Amino acid sequence: GQQVMQIPQYQHVQEGEDFTTYCNSSTTLSNIQWYKQRPGGHPVFLIQLVKSGEVKKQKRLTFQFGEAKKNSSLHITATQTTDVGTYFCAGASGYSTLTFGKGTMLLVSP
Amino acid sequence: DTEVTQTPKHLVMGMTNKKSLKCEQHMGHRAMYWYKQKAKKPPELMFVYSYEKLSINESVPSRFSPECPNSSLLNLHLHALQPEDSALYLCASSQGGGPGETGDTQYFGPGTRLTVL
């Protein structure tokens, strides 16, 4: 079955440093979605990437979808304490269900 | 309005109890989902309803019984649960057509934190 691997599992940065999490799928995806889950919260949709090579920005967050539509990344510039949480990627293939990566837990120290 | 509501927020139950979790959305979404999430793990899909019909059951034990009374409501009936079933139960909805369809993003509710004693 489809597998989505996400690294790193955990990252601790100082406020102001950059952060990147990476996702790799075992199969070509029709789209990839990113979610953020704050501690004690629920997953909140951030963005969906559909096109090969697509790059989207949301303020300090930059999302990329690989040319082969099998990998993606989320980069946060100049992290803030409000960025703390677990970031999940979730890949979709055809009309199948979303396959979630294991998530990257981000801790930001002031 | 992108809100999915879930009740109760917390539930403690014994192994012989019967309880129900409720989920509601008023976004006109045609697909609704139940997920189970253990601490520090990703959400794990349990059931998918599409147009009020059960379309996916991810081999979930029969002690979990989903129900979709109408397009806005989704229930999860619980009976004879085990302590290892303790988890955060998340409901989600999407516009319809399945997650492979562009734009069919899932909106999650706040979850019910279930403890089975």
pLDDT at B22: 98
Q: Does residue B44 carry a pLDDT above 70?
A: yes
CB interface of B with A, residues 54-83, below 8 Å: 56
pLDDT at B23: 98
- In this structure, chain A runs to a length of 110
Q: What is the pLDDT of residues A80-110, one digit of tens each?
A: 999 999 999 999 876 667 899 999 999 999 9
Mean pLDDT of chain B: 91
Q: How far is A54 from chain B (nearest CA, A)?
A: 14
| Cβ contact, residue pair B108, A48, below 8 Å | no
For B1-15, what is the mean pLDDT? 90
Q: How far is CA B83 from CA A52, B11, B15, B66, B92, in A?
A: 44, 13, 8, 20, 24
Q: Write out chain B residues lying below 8 Å of A93, CB-based.
A: 100
Query: CB-based contact (8 Å) between B41 and chain A?
Result: yes
| Cβ contact, residue pair A88, B110, below 8 Å | no
Confidence class for position A16, pLDDT limits 50, 70, 90: very high
Q: Write out chain B residues lying below 8 Å of A96, CB-based.
A: 98-100
Q: How far is CA B62 from CA A36, A53, B82, in A?
A: 31, 43, 12
**Which tokens hold the place of B11?**
């539930």
Query: CB-based contact (8 Å) between B105 and chain A?
Result: yes
